[in-house]
Amino acid sequence: MTSYTELGLVNTKELFKKAVSGGYAIPAYNFNNLEQIQAIIQACVETKSPVVLQVSAGARKYANQNILKNMARGAVEYARELGYDIPIALHLDHGNSFELCKDCIESGFSSVMIDGSHLPYDENVELTRKVCEFAHSQKDYVTVEGELGVLAGVEDDVSAEHSDYTKPEEVMDFVSKTKVDSLAISIGTSHGRTKFKPEQCTRDANGVLIPPPLRFDILEEIEKKIPGFPIVLHGASSVPMEYVRMIEQFGGHLKDSVGIPEEQLRRAAKSAVCKINIDSDGRLAMTALIRKVLAEDPEEFDPRKLIGPARDELKKLYMHKNLNVLGSAGQA
Ligand SMILES: [Zn+2]
């Protein structure tokens, strides 16, 4: 059994409190390999941003929980070595059972998400309450994220055909019964790189898909019901067209890609939204650069030369997010 404090990690309590009052959002970046964690830490140290390192159940299967835990420990030491001790949380993304959350908590995660959003309301309350009870009773308080409302799209093991917006009238009851520390809501974000079907969008003069706007009216109503309570947005990648085009230029096919415009995320970050999850954008950046290198240098076979440029691009992308979208730069 390992407590996250032994790894040099923090839970999300203070991070979120400051983010809500400061009008910015903490980046939550997913990782499952070396280059991703290097890019995240380099970007967050250079921009002096706190960060949530996220591990999905799929990443845990891919990389092994022990390796991931020690990568998080390494990330803390790496940040210090780079000269700035940023607060780092290690968070389970979309935990789907009490056992998975317990397992992660006992192996050094500082925060977990229990996603009961697909369950009937009362079962979601019961499952979330049970995880909170366990997480909060640890020697070092582990924070818990719950979810109300369902996001459309596909992300590792999580998928839903249609989105189901969060009902503002349920949030107060959910938060007080479960004692969750933060709440993921559904206001129109979506998992994956095709966040909307073309028929849900309009097109600009160049035929690029313009998505429907986020439901800020629902967000405002939720904020009125639970003032100052930390809100989380999942599925908040912007799906930059420069990467989509680069991938297609070098042989990929990513038809009908569409994300959430960055201006809308910037607006959300200024509200009680204090954690914004970004995964697909990082996948696109890495794939774009890997495809480019493979296409332009067919003789290259050193994996470092193939993945290194992808890592550097990922760092650039995350610095941009911290500085210009989330507003978390300078807040560590
Ligand atoms: Zn998610």
Residues annotated catalytic, as ranges: 93
Beta bridge partners of 140: none
Give burial (CB, 10 Å; 0-12/13-18/19+) of 297.
exposed
> How many Å lie between the centroid of ligand 1 and the Cα of residue 230?
16
Mark the ranges of the chain whose per-residue pLDDT is less than 70.
154-161
> How many Å lie between the centroid of ligand 1 and the Cα of residue 143?
17
**Displacement of CA 178 from its chain's centroid (Å):** 22
Q: How many residues does the chain have?
A: 332
Contacts 24+ apart (CB under 8 A), 75-84: 75/37, 75/40, 75/41, 76/7, 76/8, 76/9, 77/8, 78/38, 78/41, 79/41, 79/44, 79/45, 82/41, 82/42, 82/45, 83/45, 84/45, 84/48, 84/332
> How many Å lie between the centroid of ligand 1 and the Cα of residue 330?
26
- pLDDT at position 161, please? 65
- pLDDT at position 154, please? 66
> How many Å lie between the centroid of ligand 1 and the Cα of residue 235?
6
Per-residue pLDDT tens over the stretch 3-40: 999 999 999 999 999 999 999 999 999 999 999 999 99
3-state secondary structure of 55: strand
> How many Å lie between the centroid of ligand 1 and the Cα of residue 36?
18
User: How far are the Cα atoms of 95, 164, 210, 235 from residue 185, in angstroms, in the given order?
Assistant: 16, 10, 22, 11
Q: pTM of the predicted model, to two decimals?
A: 0.95
- pLDDT at position 296, please? 97
> How many Å lie between the centroid of ligand 1 and the Cα of residue 236?
9
> How many Å lie between the centroid of ligand 1 and the Cα of residue 139?
28
- pLDDT at position 155, please? 62
Instruction: Tell me if 274 sits within 8 A of 230, measured CB to CB.
Output: yes
> How many Å lie between the centroid of ligand 1 and the Cα of residue 305?
31
Structure letter (DSSP) for residue 164: B
